[in-house]
Structure 1
């Protein structure tokens, strides 16, 4: 940022005063606020769900929005994100919560109250508890992601854009990282892991081909000796796995496309 050289009285302000070791003039710049917004995903009943809150205050009172709020002077963006998640939805210290910074949104007119810059986060919850409203949220709910998932009308502020960006980020990271296990409980079947890819990508995967790819990737998953679970039908119990020690997938597990249909990897 560039400070003003002199104010109307000829006194030095901004960087000029700062560079000479004098007190920094905070009035040299227009004030603005910083907020956090969270796109929190989980899988329920075989569908991808997103955590939304109904705004209880203006602006956009009564509209669905992503959980979030203003940073306090004494906290980091991640600390504020976790606090707002607890205050607005009751999800405090959720086991297995995966939280990562998405990007910064800074369009000048994104908030009608004042200039507001938002640091957005994407979060994954493997076993989502019920949510309830709090703070300036009238209520909170897990709603299916996709067409019509946002309830009546678009989301408040620019949250539709943030949500779409977060979904694209997660879908992409499933291809080259082990992030999919963050959607799963500590002990899971390969069928449950495959379901993560199917609901996030919105496509069906061949079970045998998926199993072959997963088990051929070092450190992706580890089989739990002697552990199994009945999964329905007349087949034998399915083996249970846990997340392995790897972070990256080598080679990547690419999502099928018309140009790149699903098939065995070399």
Structure 2
């Protein structure tokens, strides 16, 4: 090819954000209602184009998060992936850098700029076809949720969603909400206790709703869990016939 005749393609750079939190013991994702075309009126992840050639990509992500949803204090944004398939945006060739944050106690969003609305929606709804997320945001959200689930396997992140002290049952509820499964309490207790430094005993016992005392714990000194809290062979789901089944490492079920 003659280099003198080559013209670089026009590519626009954008950012998209998967912001996850727990609300009412369910995993929720931040979505906005688009106020402009394309996909006006559709739900989407917050995001947008870089303002100019001088704007840092992470700065653009934080700016869009504040402008579209009014969130300014979201903690560390983790790079999730780059999405640039041709045709993903009807406005032209758009490459998007996606970021992920999963954090406790995030506030109610407030829509602004080109967002007609902003809200927290349960992840199980947002991932259904009926949600009809704009662009390829269903794929980005799916990738973000899976990354969050893996983070709970390998880090002590789950304790951030508990109080200063908590019971094993309360910690299990966090895992069940993020993983989207029901866990066997005995297997979960054994996994937690085997992860050295994950949690430590804290103070007297607390009476539960059933009246039985439960031991209290607090976050331990480690951030990386070893061995990890793997999902395989401990998740319990209900099959179509109503029987309980364990989730296998391949994602299927075993009786």
DSSP-derived class of the 2:182 partner: coil
Please, which of 77, 80, 85 is the counterpart of residue 65 of structure 2?
A: 85
The answer for the alignment partner of 1:47 in structure 2 is: 26
Between the two proteins, the alignment pairs up a number of residues equal to 236
Closer/same/farther in 2, CA of residues 114 and 47 from structure 1, 3 Å limit: same
- Tell which deviates more after alignment, 214-223 or 110-119: 214-223
Q: Distance in 2 between matches of 1:93 and 1:148?
A: 24
What pairs up with 1:9-24 in 2 under 5 angstroms?
none
Gaps of 5+ in 1: 8-13, 15-27, 261-266
Alpha-carbon shift at residue 207 of structure 1 (Å): 2.4
- What residue number does 1:247 align with? 224
Give the alignment partner of residue 118 of structure 2, picking from 140, 147, 164. Answer: 140
The alpha-carbon deviation at position 111 of structure 1 amounts to 0.8
CA distance in structure 2 between the partners assigned to 1:228 and 1:80 by the alignment: 47
Structure 2 partner of 1:123: 101
SS class of match (1:210)? helix
CA RMSD of aligned residues (A): 2.7
Matches within 5 A, 1:152-191: 153-185=131-163, 187-191=165-169
* TM-score, with length taken from structure 1: 0.77
- Give the conservation status (yes or no) of the 8 Å contact 1:103–1:119: yes
- In the alignment, structure 1 residue 234 sits paired with structure 2 residue 211: yes
Match of 2:55 among 41, 66, 75: 75
Shift of 1:82: 1.8
Aligned to 1:35: 14
| CA drift at 1:185 | 5.0
Task: Please list the CA deviations of residues 107-132 of structure 1 after superposition, one character each: whole Å capped at 9, or x if unmatched.
Answer: 11111112110011121121121111
Indicate how the Cα distance of structure 1 residues 184 and 118 shifts in structure 2: closer, same or farther if over 3 A, else same.
Answer: farther
- SS of the equivalent of 2:38 reads coil
Aligned residues of 2:157 and 2:223 also touching (Cα < 8 A) = no
Q: Which has the larger radius of gyration?
A: 1
Give distance in 2, aligned partners of 1:177 and 1:71: 32
CA contact (8 A) 1:186 1:243 kept: no
Using the size of structure 2 for normalisation, the TM-score is: 0.80
* Residues 35 and 119 in structure 1, CA contact (< 8 A), matched pair in contact too: yes
Counterpart CA distance in 2 for 1:131 and 1:142 is 8
